[in-house]
Amino acid sequence: MLKTILAISGKPGLYKLISQAKNMLIVENIADKKRMPIYASDKVISLGDIAMYTDANEVPLANVLESVKQKENGEEVKLDYKKASGTELHAFMAEVLPQYDRDRVHSSDIKKLIQWYNLLISSGESDFVEGIQTETVETAAEAE
């Protein structure tokens, strides 16, 4: 599911890939459903290609979002990421992903994670991992 959700540099929010043309993508803002073209000059990244640093390796963003969903019982994060201190943000991240790399994951990264999670949940997108990855998340949670 996250392969079709895009973050576009310089544009707020998240976008769903609708269609592809020769030199552009047609995307839809997941919050207000407005469509627009995105050209090759825009920096676009799929959420499916993003990972969070941990002490051992990288964890796909889908698994981190699924962990946030389990922590928040499928609802939006109650922590106000705009006003939260760095300590509060890192405490939140430690609950979600205990083995995250505290040196390479910054407060701004955690704010972006919470913002994206809330956008996805409010737009009805809540299937972050597919099939076998869900079992991996559950097994990792049980091991700790």
User: pTM for this one?
Assistant: 0.83
What's the CATH fold of domain 2-47?
Answer: SH3 type barrels. (2.30.30)
C-alpha 26: how far from its chain's center? Answer: 21
Per-residue pLDDT tens, the chain, 144 aa: give them: 788 999 999 999 999 999 998 889 999 999 999 999 999 889 999 999 999 999 989 999 999 999 999 999 889 999 999 999 999 999 999 999 999 999 999 999 999 999 999 999 998 888 887 653 434 444 344 433
Domain residue limits, the chain: 2-47, 50-143
Question: Does domain 50-143 match CATH 2.40.50.140?
Answer: no
Residue 66 φ/ψ region, left for φ over 0, alpha for ψ in the -120 to 50 degree band, beta for the rest:
alpha
